[in-house]
Structure 1
Amino acid sequence: MDLYPAIDLKQGQCVRLFKGDMDQATVFNDSPGDQAGGFVAAGAQWLHVVDLDGAFAGESVNGAAVDAIVAAAGTVPVQLGGGIRSVDAAGAWLERGVSRVILGTVAVREPAVVLDACKAFPGKVAVGIDARDGFVAVEGWADVSTLQVVDLAKRFEDAGVAAVIYTDINRDGAMTGVNVDSTAELARAVSMPVIASGGVASLDDIKALRETGVVSGVISGRALYEGAIDLAAALKVCAGES
């Protein structure tokens, strides 16, 4: 199972939100590049980056910060979401050094964009599914649709999606524990790799996800920033070494 340290960007800074609320953002680092470098130095094998402003604006906003992260990451791959709403936008970020783009809102609003992006960039497109109480949320989590998580994921079953990133918004940034059951349910319902996000608070959460045998990765943010989880120890748990 892979571990993805999270870098969420708001106004050029590394922040963590509380349950997806942009008005409840805690700044953890003024330098996204330095944050990325720190994660890489600690052994990170992936970085998960979200342009929060871009998610609301519908287009990339924190481009300079993302470029700094990619530069600091070096050979460590970076996946990026937030405001990527077209095939051209996805391609532009891949050309700038991002290894994988995450399509979220557009997966609901314009699913054809996901299909076209997967064809244009095989293995480099993930679908981000963010949910409140089992229903998919879009536009930076501001709007909740009537679409259920599994139903959305199944639309892309044969599209060539590299991974599905499932976030339980009610747990995100709250340090209340990851939603193991819902994540595993999704992973069992589809053949695509599923990455868990939202609420990871301890090594026990990571171990519980690993022990499902069906979850391919986990994203951790606030727990890493606040020291509740040690990155090196978490990597060992993901690898089944502890």
Structure 2
Amino acid sequence: MKIIPAIDLIDGKCVRLYQGDFNKTEQVANDPIEQLQTFIADGAEMVHIVDLDGAREGEQKRQYKLIEKLCNIATVPVQVGGGIRSVETIEKLIEAGADRLVLGTAAIENPTFLKEALAKYSSQIVIGIDAKDGKVATHGWETVSEIDAIRFAKEMEQLGVQTIVYTDISKDGTMSGPNVEGLKEMHEAVTCTIVASGGIKDNSDIDTLEKIGITEAIVGKAIYQGKVTLKGASL
């Protein structure tokens, strides 16, 4: 199991949201650079960075300089997400050093952009499916659509997507355990690599996910609180 620690950024600070609610933010670390170095020293094989300013407020607020600094320091691959809605943004983030890019809202709302992104950067494009009650959420999780998450995953698979990050918003930041049934259903529905995200509270959750065939998991609050350990989980 590859444990991928998350660094969520608002105004240059490491935060965690509760159930995707921007009004319920909690600062979890003082310095994202120091936090990145700690994660790598602890054995992280990849780090997941989310630009929440970019996700919510668009291109003019994107934290390119900080992301570039983090990518330059990192000695492991960096996955970046948060409001990526144009090929220009993809190119800037790749230039900044990002190895994988998570597309969410734009993958749903702009099929032309998605196809262009996959044509140019297929191996680096990851689709983020953020769901609530099985329906896909968009725009920084603030809008829930009528699109079925499993059906959307199958559509992505047909387009050649190789990796999907599946986040249950109702679980995210709650440390109440992941949506195991939802992840199992998603994993069995497509051949894409499914990356679990949301609600993971301890190493036993990691074991449970591994048993249903999940090979990668993004962990946020539980890592900051020491409930999931990169070294312990990988033993």
TM range, smaller chain: over 0.9
Q: After the TM superposition, which parts of structure 1 deviate over 3 Å for at least 4 consecutive aligned residues? A: none
Instruction: Find the aligned partners of 1:32 and 1:192 in 2 and give their Cα distance.
Output: 30
1:119/1:160 contact within 8 Å kept:
no
Q: What is the CA distance between 1:151 and its match in structure 2?
A: 1.2
Instruction: Find the aligned partners of 1:122 and 1:83 in 2 and give their Cα distance.
Output: 18
Instruction: Find the aligned partners of 2:231 and 2:171 in 1 and give their Cα distance.
Output: 24
* CA offset digits 1:47-86 (Å, max 9, x no partner): 0111111111233622222122212212x00000002101
Aligned residue for 2:165? 165
Alignment of 1:59-138 (within 5 A): 59=59, 61-74=62-75, 76-138=76-138
Matched, 1:231 2:230: yes
Q: What is the CA distance between 1:152 and its match in structure 2?
A: 1.1
Aligned residue for 2:183? 183
Aligned residue for 2:141? 141
Matched, 1:17 2:25: no
Letter in 2 for 1:89: T
TM-score, scaled to structure 1: 0.93
Letter in 1 for 2:234: L
Question: How many positions carry a matched residue from both structures?
Answer: 234
1:33/1:71 contact within 8 Å kept:
no
Instruction: Find the aligned partners of 2:202 and 2:11 in 1 and give their Cα distance.
Output: 28
Aligned residue for 1:41? 41
Mean Cα deviation higher: 227-236 or 97-106: 227-236
Aligned residue for 1:6? 6
Instruction: Find the aligned partners of 2:152 and 2:48 in 1 and give their Cα distance.
Output: 22
* Backbone CA RMSD of aligned residues: 1.2
1:166/1:194 contact within 8 Å kept:
yes
* CA offset digits 1:200-226 (Å, max 9, x no partner): 00111100010112x231010100001
TM-score, scaled to structure 2: 0.96
Letter in 2 for 1:219: I
* CA offset digits 1:81-137 (Å, max 9, x no partner): 002101221122112110011100001111222221111013100000101111110
Instruction: Find the aligned partners of 1:111 and 1:155 in 2 and give their Cα distance.
Output: 11
Q: What is the CA distance between 1:30 and its match in structure 2?
A: 2.6
Percent identity of equivalent pairs? 40
Where in structure 2 are there 5+ consecutive unaligned residues? none
2:175/2:201 contact within 8 Å kept:
yes
